[in-house]
Amino acid sequence: MAWSLDSDRPVYVQLAERLKLQIVSGYYSCGDRLPSVRELAAAAAVNPNTMQRAFAELERSGLVVTLRTSGRVVTEDRALVEELRHDMAKLQVKTFVDRMAEIGCSRDEVLELLREVLEQESANL
Amino acid sequence: MAWSLDSDRPVYVQLAERLKLQIVSGYYSCGDRLPSVRELAAAAAVNPNTMQRAFAELERSGLVVTLRTSGRVVTEDRALVEELRHDMAKLQVKTFVDRMAEIGCSRDEVLELLREVLEQESANL
Amino acid sequence: MAWSLDSDRPVYVQLAERLKLQIVSGYYSCGDRLPSVRELAAAAAVNPNTMQRAFAELERSGLVVTLRTSGRVVTEDRALVEELRHDMAKLQVKTFVDRMAEIGCSRDEVLELLREVLEQESANL
Amino acid sequence: MAWSLDSDRPVYVQLAERLKLQIVSGYYSCGDRLPSVRELAAAAAVNPNTMQRAFAELERSGLVVTLRTSGRVVTEDRALVEELRHDMAKLQVKTFVDRMAEIGCSRDEVLELLREVLEQESANL
DNA sequence: GTGGTCTAGACCACT
DNA sequence: GTGGTCTAGACCACG
């Protein structure tokens, strides 16, 4: 997963989304200490202020908590993380189902294609 | 399906995509006569030239054929339409699977969520 | 050789050209009696007056002579026919050479390609 | 080679053909930067949009590639250019051979006339 | 009426 | 400056 940034949406929103993704996907686990704003900003080639703003978003949602003196960590609230993960997943699924319906795929066809692709992916591991 | 147009991608591309979708999904069937360029342009609130350009794309792909003076019809080549439909569907599925993997969903979880959503949709009918 | 007629040039000119071609190519030989204007007009699906006008052109050039009572025949003047044939051929060759030069073909390449095509044609007989 | 335009065929098609000819003939070589659309449009006395459309044709065939902001260049793919050149040449030859056959010229006569004309052309240099 | 083409003029993104 | 896109409005050929 690279730091790919569109120029048409606010950068801080994109950064926040990516960090959120890294948390719900388990790349950063509950209780993990996160890299410093400066480090992440450098890695993403953005201004530290922008990265800071991204973190502000994550704190509002409770995914990340700031420890006065020792940086930021992922929340210990596993249920919250899991809930967000589930919400994101469900949104993706709904969007997917709608698109397949637009293309004119039946319920069975969707499942059939999905199984095909999943097996290919498995085979590639 | 409304004539929703982003401002960030060429309008004629979006129009072509939408028409393609309407054909592969069966909204317009093989052999069906399509509305005139002027009609569709009016409906989509774009300049007729722009709609014409969209049709040029469809014609190059073979989905649509032009009858000199009596409008355009969807190709009679059902195999071509089916092939395109399958390609579009498979691309959607692959994108979907990748995104779910990013979120950190297992194969089984994807299938489980999908079944959930599909049943909800069925229930809504 | 079919009676293919463009709509952008005078029909009688096209008919005259075609008849001229049939004479110089030997389809009608010197001294041959030609079909009647009515017959030819019917075959070409044109008005007899139009075909008549085509013949007038051929008579002016001396390729065809009218016998008072017994229709028209191809001139007996073999030299004239041969001269016209040679002129037509030379014009074609010149046009051809010019076009090949435009494409950027060398003298040798032209000859090489020509031999290729001529042999293919021979093989097809 | 002048910007001669018929009025009976689409202008953009004629422009595209001419540009194609200039590329395969080596007037513009592989990698050469082409004049801007506006320049060429002015030279050919057509609307820039029309010239743009001509370039779109060339781009679809792969003969020309667009550099975002710094104009267009001829493809570096010499093989493609050579292939197109050969195709064009062969088509001309075939057409020529057919026409000569219609006139009633034998294989040897065609070659004889061709040599004559080629020598005249050489002499004119 | 249909599609096809062309012009004129404008705006945008990119550098 | 470059190419890319869009609009507006016009004309043509075809039946």
Model confidence at D2: pLDDT above 90: no
Strands C71-74 and C64-67: antiparallel
Distance from CA(A96) to C1'(E4), angstroms, rounded: 39
> Residue C73's pLDDT band (boundaries 50, 70, 90)?
very high
Computed over every residue of chain C, the mean pLDDT equals: 90
Distance from CA(D8) to C1'(F11), angstroms, rounded: 14
Mean pLDDT for C31-60 is: 92
Write the CA distances from D53 to A114, B35, B50, integer angstroms. Answer: 41, 25, 14
- Residues D34-84 have pLDDT tens digits of 999 999 999 999 999 999 999 999 999 999 999 988 899 999 999 999 999
Q: What's the pLDDT score for residue A8?
A: 74
Handedness of CA B113, B118, B119, B125 (dihedral sign): positive
Which nucleotide in the DNA or RNA is closest to residue D33, CA to C1'?
Answer: F2
Q: Mind giving me the DSSP string for C14-57? A: HHHHHHHHHHHTTSS-TTPBPPPHHHHHHHHTS-HHHHHHHHHH
Report d(CA D46, CA D44) in Å as an integer. 6
Phi, psi of C29 (to 5 degrees): -95, 170
Q: What's the pLDDT score for residue C1?
A: 61
Cβ contact, residue pair C89, D102, below 8 Å? no
Partnered with residue B73 across adjacent β-strands are B33, B65
Percentage of chain C beyond pLDDT 70 is 98
Residues from C contacting D (CB-CB < 8 Å) are: 1, 8, 21, 24-27, 85, 88-90, 92-94, 96-97, 99-105, 107, 109-111, 113-114, 116-118, 121-122
> Residue D1's pLDDT band (boundaries 50, 70, 90)?
low
* Residues 65-124, chain B, CB closer than 7 Å to nucleic strand F: 68-69
Which nucleotide in the DNA or RNA is closest to residue D41, CA to C1'?
Answer: E7
Mean pLDDT for B82-91 is: 95
Q: What's the pLDDT score for residue D38?
A: 93
Q: What's the pLDDT score for residue B1?
A: 66
Tell me which residues of chain A have a pLDDT lower than 70.
1
Q: Which chains touch C (3 or more CB pairs under 8 A)?
A: D
